[in-house]
């Protein structure tokens, strides 16, 4: 891992430790990771792979039997470019793709000559099943969740394995990354409740399942300790549940355990409608929650009429105040360019969030351009939402780039992007005015991570 230092990363790629634990339990001990992510040399400056550099890194590591890839939409082309180099250098190696992009795009991905197999959906059973079949030269048609090309035909194995419940999942393979990696990450991801029961039209996390199941609390605490042992005792966590406060009972059980230990600090994300119980808010503060991310943009936007009359807003401000009183900093998720939004309502949305920051109700906000990722309902069925997709060049399906669709209300992507750029400046200005004073402390409270570039 020679390039883990600059720029720093938000976190280690969780799927690797997660599936690493699964593979190790199945007897695959010879696992390695190749970092082409944090090195500026891996790209040639035009969002394409620097082939010379990547070849060099792959040669240094030597050939492997199997290479695993988990691209997201905007970097899918980079993963495929790397797979081509792998196959060129080591033609006997197998390349296996999986995860949030390869699952909905399984067919086109499997058609790519450099991709040997696509594993759809969750990997805990399907990946070892594929590796066993390859190792023992078994019939691939019996391997579930597999899409692959065979003699010019794309084969789709329909069998889907039952999800492994969290209590039965092997522990993460924490030593997959060297201890020094811990010096250059913002936090360690830890999941308690796996799965999300909602179905937001823009979201693509369905690979992980819809019913929320919990890891046993003792296991969560053990794993946190193990991560800290390896990457540093000072480490802060990000609770990776999609909606951390989804169910009051299990949330309180975990937060009580955190409070009893007294040495855990963490960030989390949830929805506004899962924060109505004041007991939960108190427990969040006592359990060490320092930073809570909430998608509040749509409640502001959808109810703009009522917003003016302070009906919904009263509830929102009450919740945010209680969180502030409990010592929890709050960051909103804002998405620009939903169908139905005009340029004007987009601007208003930003201004409303900036006002909440100025007034100390919010400490920060993320701001992203809406992207119809493959697998989401708005990608599969854009007409239903009044959207027209302009192209399928996935390298431009990016939350910082102009929208890849138009709507009747906002037909010019460049104008929408301009609102986005101005919005970033408005929110940035509000945050720089408010963060040091809102917390009563300095930026250091949020970690030195923010001082430099991060990916
Ligand atoms: C943590 C996270 C990050 C982290 C770490 C990323 C990482 N590589 O681990 C950071 C902050 C860096 C990040 C960045 C981005 N992210 Co992100 N991220 C997530 C998040 C919240 C959790 C992912 C996770 O760790 N899940 C837990 C693991 C265990 O689940 P999993 O990855 O799904 O893996 C399971 C299966 O999918 C499968 N599987 C996964 N990979 C593979 C590979 C193989 C070979 C096999 C067999 C199986 C397999 O097996 C696993 C176990 O069952 C997801 C939302 C979500 N809940 O999925 C978004 C998500 C993945 N991110 C998303 C996006 C868009 C991004 C960014 C592009 C945002 C941006 N504009 O910059 C960047 C891209 C960064 C980059 N260049 O790669 C989107 C992806 C949408 C899409 N279809 O492409 C998601 C789904 C959120 C969303 N908006 O819907 N992200
Ligand atoms: S956006 Fe959040 S709440 Fe909605 S489906 Fe995705 S993870 Fe669940």
pLDDT tens, residue by residue, 303-327: 444 334 444 666 889 999 999 999 9
Classify the phi-psi angles of 129: left when phi > 0, otherwise alpha if psi is within -120 to 50, otherwise beta: alpha
Tokens of 98: 């999986």
Residue reference for tokens 């409740």: 193
Q: What is the pTM of this model?
A: 0.93
Cβ atoms within 10 A of the Cβ of 293, count? 19
d(C-alpha 236, C-alpha 248), whole Å: 23
Average pLDDT over residues 195-203: 86
Question: Phi and psi of 41, rounded to 5°?
Answer: -75, -15
Question: Could you tell me the pLDDT band of residue 447, with boundaries at 50, 70 and 90?
Answer: very low
d(C-alpha 207, C-alpha 120), whole Å: 8
Closest protein CA for atom 17 of ligand 1: 72
Classify the phi-psi angles of 363: left when phi > 0, otherwise alpha if psi is within -120 to 50, otherwise beta: alpha
Q: Exposure of 245 by Cβ count < 10 A (0-12 exposed, 13-18 middle, 19+ buried)?
A: buried
The preferred substitution site among 193, 194, 196 for testing ligand 2, maximizing ligand atoms within 8 Å of CB, is 196
d(C-alpha 309, C-alpha 287), whole Å: 35
Question: Could you tell me the pLDDT band of residue 297, with boundaries at 50, 70 and 90?
Answer: low
Q: Omega before 7 cis (within 30°)? A: yes
**266 pairs with which residues across the strands?**
237, 289
Residues with CB under 6 A from ligand 2: 196, 198-200, 203, 205, 242-243, 271
Per-residue pLDDT reduced to its tens digit, 36-81: 887 767 777 667 889 999 999 999 998 999 999 999 999 999 999 9
Assess whether the C-beta atom of 205 lies below 6 angstroms from ligand 1.
Answer: yes
CB 48 within 8 A of CB 200: no
CB 346 within 8 A of CB 410: yes
Degrees (nearest 5) of the Cα angle 154, 49, 424? 105
Per-residue pLDDT reduced to its tens digit, 373-383: 999 999 999 99
pLDDT at 308: 42
Q: At residue 441, does pLDDT exceed 90?
A: no
d(C-alpha 300, C-alpha 285), whole Å: 25
Degrees (nearest 5) of the Cα angle 86, 21, 35? 35
Helix axis angle, 51-61 to 76-89, nearest 10°: 60
Question: Which is the closest atom of ligand 1 to the Cα of 191?
Answer: 27
Per-residue pLDDT reduced to its tens digit, 334-393: 999 999 999 999 999 999 999 999 999 999 999 999 999 999 999 999 999 999 999 999
The preferred substitution site among 15, 143, 176 for testing ligand 1, maximizing ligand atoms within 8 Å of CB, is 15
Question: Which is the closest atom of ligand 1 to the Cα of 69?
Answer: 45
More reliable by pLDDT, 305 or 243: 243
């Amino acid at each position: 891992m020679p390039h883990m230092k600059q720029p720093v990363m938000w976190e280690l790629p969780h799927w690797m430790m997660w599936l690493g634990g699964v593979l190790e339990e199945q007897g695959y001990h010879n696992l390695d990771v190749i970092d082409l992510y944090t090195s500026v040399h891996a790209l040639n400056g035009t969002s394409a792979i620097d082939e010379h550099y990547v070849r060099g890194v792959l040669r240094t590591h030597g050939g492997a039997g199997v290479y695993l890839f988990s691209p997201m939409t905007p970097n899918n082309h980079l993963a495929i470019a790397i797979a081509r180099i792998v196959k060129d250098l080591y033609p006997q190696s197998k390349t296996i793709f999986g995860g949030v992009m390869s699952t909905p795009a399984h067919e086109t991905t499997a058609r790519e000559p450099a991709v040997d197999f696509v594993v759809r959906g969750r990997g805990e059973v399907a990946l070892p099943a594929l590796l066993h079949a390859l190792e023992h030269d078994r019939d691939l048609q019996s391997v579930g969740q597999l899409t692959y090309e065979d003699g010019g035909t794309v084969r789709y194995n329909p069998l889907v394995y039952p999800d492994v419940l969290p209590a039965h999942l092997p522990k993460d393979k924490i030593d997959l990354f060297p201890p020094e990696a811990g010096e250059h990450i913002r936090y360690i991801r830890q999941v308690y409740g796996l799965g999300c029961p909602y179905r937001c039209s823009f979201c693509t996390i369905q690979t992980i399942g819809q019913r929320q199941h919990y890891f046993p609390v003792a296991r969560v605490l053990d794993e946190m300790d193990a991560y800290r042992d390896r990457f540093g005792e000072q480490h802060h966590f990000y609770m990776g549940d999609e909606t951390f406060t989804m169910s009051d009972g299990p949330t309180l059980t975990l937060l009580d355990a955190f409070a009893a230990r007294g040495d855990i600090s963490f960030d989390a994300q949830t929805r506004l409608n899962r924060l109505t119980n004041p007991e939960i808010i108190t427990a969040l503060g006592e359990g060490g929650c320092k930073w809570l991310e909430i998608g509040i943009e749509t409640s502001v936007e959808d109810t703009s009429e009522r917003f003016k009359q302070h009906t919904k807003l009263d509830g929102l401000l009450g919740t945010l105040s209680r969180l502030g009183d409990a010592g929890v900093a709050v960051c909103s998720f804002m998405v620009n360019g939903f169908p139905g939004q005009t340029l004007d309502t987009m601007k208003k949305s930003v201004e409303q969030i900036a006002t909440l920051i100025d007034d100390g109700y919010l400490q920060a906000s993320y701001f992203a351009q809406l992207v119809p990722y493959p697998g989401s309902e708005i990608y599969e069925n854009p007409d239903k939402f009044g959207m027209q997709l302009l192209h399928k060049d996935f390298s431009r399906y990016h939350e910082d780039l102009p929208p890849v669709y138009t709507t009747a209300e906002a037909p010019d992507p460049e104008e929408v992007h301009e609102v986005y750029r101005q919005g970033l400046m408005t929110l940035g200005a509000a945050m720089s005015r408010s963060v040091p004073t809102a917390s009563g402390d300095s930026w250091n409270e949020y970690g030195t991570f923010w001082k430099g570039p991060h990916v």
